[in-house]
Amino acid sequence: MSELPPCPKCESPYAYADRDLLICPECAHEWSIDGSASESEDALNIKDSNGNPLTDGDSVTVIKDLKVKGTSLVVKVGTKVKNIRLVDSDHDIDCKIDGIGPMKLKSEFVKKA
Question: Could you tell me how far CA 76 lies from the centroid of its own chain?
Answer: 24
pLDDT on residue 40 = 44
Residue 82 phi/psi, 5-degree rounding, is -105, 155
Strand runs labelled E in the chain: 16-18, 21-23, 30-32, 60-62, 66-67, 74-75, 80-81, 85-86, 93-97, 101-105, 110-112
Predicted TM-score (pTM) of the model is: 0.62
For residues 41 and 50, give the distance between their C-alpha atoms in angstroms, rounded to a whole number.
23
pLDDT on residue 39 = 42
Question: Could you tell me how far CA 4 lies from the centroid of its own chain?
Answer: 29
Per-residue pLDDT of the chain (113 residues; tens, 9 = 90+): 458 888 888 888 998 988 888 888 988 888 887 765 544 444 678 999 999 999 999 999 999 999 999 999 999 999 999 999 999 889 999 999 999 999 999 999 999 98
